[in-house]
A and B are shown apart, each in its own frame.
Chain A
Amino acid sequence: MILGCLVALFGFSSIAVADSTRLREVLPTGATVFAESLPGTKLVSLQIIGSARGAQDTKATHGYRHLLEHLMARGFKEDSDKKLEVEGLYLRATTFRDTMQFRVDCYPSQAPIVIAVFQDMLAGLRATPERILKESQIIREEIALISESRKQNREVWTQAYGDARLDPLGDPDLIATATPKSLADLQRTHFCGANLVVTVTGNVKVDEGILLAKRIAASAPTYPAAELNWMEFSTPKAARVSSGEMTTIGIPVGGFQEPKTVARAAAAFALAGLAQGNVSFMPTLKHGLVSVTMLQNEQTRAAFSNSPAAALEVGRLQLRRWMQKQISEPGRDGALRGSLLSFAPFYRPEGFLDGVQELKLAQFTEAWEEFRKLWAN
């Protein structure tokens, strides 16, 4: 609902918000274009990010978005990779629960090639029953390859949210039931103006970056934004999954910049730093999850024996370092800022970093205790 209001405010007028190195503009179509100049970088990253608002997987369509990603990456003319790779360029395509992202990092002189590829991807979808069947088989193989920690992470989400936050990889049997029409409709929703963010970040002047982004955004399908909403569902719960010596614990979080989210993320990063574990944390508008995967060993036990004050310092450092890494490199910066903008125009990494700095020991201690109790269960 919050996002619906924001779209109402920002979706139908062209508003530019700028500082010295960044510029964000909302186009009449509702699409957001964003450019950032990152000093000292040689590459520029061009990205299209489609919000899943109104296009989320349901139990009946679980994996259609993933299939759409595979098909869109091929391009309408089915020659995206050929055009890019001959230039030494690489298309990254990723489906998350809340967004689908396509990214190419290039030298500034290569931007027109990337723009043409993105325009072609947005122009339509070439999906035949044979291709759908083939890609569903390939996705089945892809799912069979996922790691144990990824499996645990998937299970933690399921425990926390049930069928409300389905894993983006999908169900290959259901994927095979998609039709060319259902996928074309899905693409129009997922990448319509109101759901589209285009980012250009890195070795580019902001005004030039905005122009490049606008050229891509102009290819987006139009669609009535008022019909697009996030799914609503009941309260999630904390989750824990173990197999062998590996355990993943996850705690639901709300919006990216909420103090509780910052505290839980800091606790997870502290644990991962102290116990050499892995954190999974994807910013969300709401209904997110922070999870950490660790081994059942002495190192993990020792990590939990740290005082919250000591752990807070580690968490702060690790979280700041992680965020700095995200926003200092063109590709990561565009991906993060683009997904944040797809949630809300006021979501910024800097807001999160401020939250990390202002995090109180009491807030952190509460989050730390949540993870400690969950681990001990």
Chain B
Amino acid sequence: MGKLSLLVFAGSCVISKAQIYSMSEVLMPDAGTCGLTAVIKTPKPEIWEQAALRVLAGCMRTGSKTYTTRQIDLLPQIVSLPECEVGSGFVLVRLSVAKGQVAQGADILSALLTQPIIDAETVEVAVRSELEGPQNPGSAAWNPVQFTNSNIDLARVEFVWRKYFRPENTFLSAAGPFAKYEAEAAFRSALREWPEKPEKRVFGKAKLEILSNSPTSVGCWTLGSVPETRPQAVANAALASIALGIGKDTTLFRVIREGTRASYRQETMLMPAQTGWASHLGVFRTGSMVVDEIAKDRDLILADIATWTPATLARAQAVLKEGLGGTYPENPFWINERTPLGDGTAAESAFSALNIAISGQLLTLETLTKLSKQTTVEDIQKIAKNLVENGTLNLLPGN
């Protein structure tokens, strides 16, 4: 059982820096739901461990020994079913419950962390899914890794679960309309025995392939930058991401979609990396991907960035604020290549847990929105320009 030893307060948030695990609360009195998240850090996993973690996440999606997903689905107090996602250096598990149901949510989450269903059948199903690789150009673009052998077995999956699902790797967070310390107490009461550490074993290597082609006729080129860690820099990067490619009145829409080459999908996003949030940009289209053409597109994008005005910034600020729980359905933050952060309490709990896990600092979406008001046009131009000029280019032609 986890033991709490230290409580730290920060604005409307309460951080409980545990002796064993970390816990934060984000109080949102007006919210109608409670979001509960656990981030499990998986620092520097071996390649086979990455594969095994993805299989483990697949197993966890079927539920725990106490609550199968099927049983959870029938509970009226559940707002959204548990999600299990593997990111760069972490596994994230979250769910949402109705107001007043934090204890129930904490119990379900705790059971998932400490009693997941890991048996031959669920492992086999999850392995089959991983061997299929990314099924759409979006997933392939942001994580073009496909595991090509099936030696991820029950023993390996159980090993990584025991190795990483330790209290010292665990960052819990709750967001919603509950009383201060209520969620913390709920988790303290709900957390079961953590798994025993695994005995040291040597496993054979797993193989993976970096895809050289998109799984469909739609190819893509992407750019990725180094992560931003400081809260103000994360806010600036979020605004730059919006000005570049979220919505229609954006640089990518003007240059790529309305430009000379037809493309339906152009996007930008921020994804958690080992030390912060990394900016990404992607352009998807059929047909050949010629490096010279991409270079020209990058020049056109840079030229458009140079035309940004205070109105560009104002639009980005409005979209960011509303995208985090208002009138706009998107925001730039993603958990991994396939799952957006979303909005509301589920997003807030995931965001705060991720920030504490990856950069060791508390940053809530509310704080981020406030910080975004201090951003200048030059700040976002600088970040966007850096991504387009210096970002790492990945090319994944359609097949």
Contact indicator B327/A90 (Cβ below 8 Å): yes
Is A105's beta carbon under 8 Å from chain B?
Answer: yes
List chain B residues, Cβ under 8 A from A20.
none
Q: Which residues of A contact B (CB under 8 A)?
A: 40, 43, 81-82, 85-90, 92, 104-107, 110, 134, 137-142, 144-145, 147-148, 244-245, 273-274, 276, 297-299, 314, 317
Contact indicator A144/B218 (Cβ below 8 Å): yes
Contact indicator B264/A138 (Cβ below 8 Å): yes
Q: How far is the CB of A99 from chain B (nearest CB, A)?
A: 20
Is B263's beta carbon under 8 Å from chain A?
Answer: yes
Is B149's beta carbon under 8 Å from chain A?
Answer: no
Write 18 A-B pairs (CB below 8 A) sorted by A numbering. A43-B327, A82-B248, A85-B247, A85-B248, A85-B328, A86-B249, A87-B318, A90-B329, A104-B327, A107-B327, A140-B286, A141-B218, A145-B265, A145-B284, A147-B136, A274-B70, A298-B121, A299-B125
Is B361's beta carbon under 8 Å from chain A?
Answer: no
List chain B residues, Cβ under 8 A from A298.
121, 125
Contact indicator B321/A145 (Cβ below 8 Å): no
Q: How large is the interface on B (under 10, 10 to 19, 20 to 34, 35 or more residues)?
A: 35 or more
Separation of A43 and B135 alpha carbons in the complex (Å) = 36
Q: How far is the CB of A242 from chain B (nearest CB, A)?
A: 15
Top 6 A-B residue pairs of the complex, sorted by shortest distance between their CB atoms: A88-B322, A137-B262, A88-B318, A81-B248, A141-B264, A142-B264
Q: How far is the CB of A73 from chain B (nearest CB, A)?
A: 9
List chain B residues, Cβ under 8 A from A90.
247, 327-330
List chain B residues, Cβ under 8 A from A317.
74
Contact indicator B249/A140 (Cβ below 8 Å): no
8 Å CB interface, B35-66 against A? none
Separation of A301 and B249 alpha carbons in the complex (Å) = 48
Q: How far is the CB of B235 from chain A (nearest CB, A)?
A: 16
Q: How far is the CB of B250 from chain A (nearest CB, A)?
A: 8
Q: Nearest B residue to A245 by beta-carbon distance?
A: B128
How many inter-chain contacts with C-beta < 8 Å in the A-B complex?
Answer: 92
List chain B residues, Cβ under 8 A from A89.
322, 327-328
Is B69's beta carbon under 8 Å from chain A?
Answer: yes
Contact indicator B69/A86 (Cβ below 8 Å): no
Contact indicator B137/A85 (Cβ below 8 Å): no
Could you give, for residues 317-328 of chain B, a 1 whenever the CB lies within 8 Å of some chain A CB and a 0 otherwise? Answer: 011011100111
8 Å CB interface, B231-253 against A? 247-249
Contact indicator B135/A141 (Cβ below 8 Å): no
**Given A85-B247, A144-B218, are A134 and B262 also a contact pair (CB < 8 Å)?**
yes
**Given A85-B249, A276-B69, are A138 and B263 also a contact pair (CB < 8 Å)?**
yes
Contact indicator B326/A88 (Cβ below 8 Å): yes
Contact indicator A144/B216 (Cβ below 8 Å): yes
Contact indicator A273/B73 (Cβ below 8 Å): yes
Contact indicator B311/A141 (Cβ below 8 Å): no
Is B211's beta carbon under 8 Å from chain A?
Answer: no
List chain B residues, Cβ under 8 A from A81.
247-249
User: 10 additional contacts, CB 8 Å, given A40-B32, A86-B314, A141-B265?
Assistant: A85-B315, A88-B321, A88-B323, A89-B327, A105-B327, A141-B264, A145-B136, A145-B284, A274-B70, A276-B69
8 Å CB interface, B46-102 against A? 69-70, 73-74
Contact indicator A86/B247 (Cβ below 8 Å): no
Could you give, for residues 286-311 of chain B, a 1 whenever the CB lies within 8 Å of some chain A CB and a 0 otherwise? Answer: 10000000000000000000000001
Q: Nearest A residue to B73 by beta-carbon distance?
A: A273
Is B257's beta carbon under 8 Å from chain A?
Answer: yes
List chain A residues, Cβ under 8 A from B248.
81-82, 85
Separation of A244 and B329 alpha carbons in the complex (Å) = 33
**Given A85-B249, A138-B264, are A144 and B217 also a contact pair (CB < 8 Å)?**
yes
Q: How far is the CB of A176 from chain B (nearest CB, A)?
A: 12
List chain B residues, Cβ under 8 A from A244.
132
Q: Nearest A residue to B329 by beta-carbon distance?
A: A90
Q: How far is the CB of B320 from chain A (nearest CB, A)?
A: 8
Most chain B C-beta atoms within 10 Å of own C-beta, residue among A40, A88, A138, A298: A88
List chain B residues, Cβ under 8 A from A274.
70
Contact indicator A145/B257 (Cβ below 8 Å): no
Separation of A257 and B323 alpha carbons in the complex (Å) = 36
Separation of A142 and B264 alpha carbons in the complex (Å) = 5
Is B280's beta carbon under 8 Å from chain A?
Answer: no
Separation of A314 and B218 alpha carbons in the complex (Å) = 38
List chain B residues, Cβ under 8 A from A92.
329
Q: Nearest B residue to A82 by beta-carbon distance?
A: B249
Separation of A142 and B323 alpha carbons in the complex (Å) = 24
Is B156's beta carbon under 8 Å from chain A?
Answer: no
List chain B residues, Cβ under 8 A from A144.
216-218, 264, 286, 398
Contact indicator A86/B318 (Cβ below 8 Å): yes
Q: How far is the CB of B353 from chain A (nearest CB, A)?
A: 26
Contact indicator B247/A141 (Cβ below 8 Å): no
Separation of A164 and B174 alpha carbons in the complex (Å) = 51
Q: Nearest B residue to A303 by beta-carbon distance?
A: B70
**Given A43-B327, A86-B311, are A141 and B286 also a contact pair (CB < 8 Å)?**
yes
Separation of A142 and B286 alpha carbons in the complex (Å) = 10
Contact indicator A141/B249 (Cβ below 8 Å): no
List chain A residues, Cβ under 8 A from B137.
145
Contact indicator B262/A138 (Cβ below 8 Å): yes
List chain A residues, Cβ under 8 A from B217.
144
Q: How far is the CB of B310 from chain A (nearest CB, A)?
A: 11
Separation of A273 and B314 alpha carbons in the complex (Å) = 44
Contact indicator B264/A85 (Cβ below 8 Å): no
Separation of A81 and B246 alpha carbons in the complex (Å) = 12
List chain B residues, Cβ under 8 A from A134.
258, 262
List chain A residues, Cβ under 8 A from B136.
145, 147
Separation of A137 and B262 alpha carbons in the complex (Å) = 6
Separation of A106 and B322 alpha carbons in the complex (Å) = 10
List chain B residues, Cβ under 8 A from A142.
264
Contact indicator A145/B249 (Cβ below 8 Å): no
Among A86, A88, A276, A314, which residue has its beta carbon within 8 angstroms of that of B327? A88
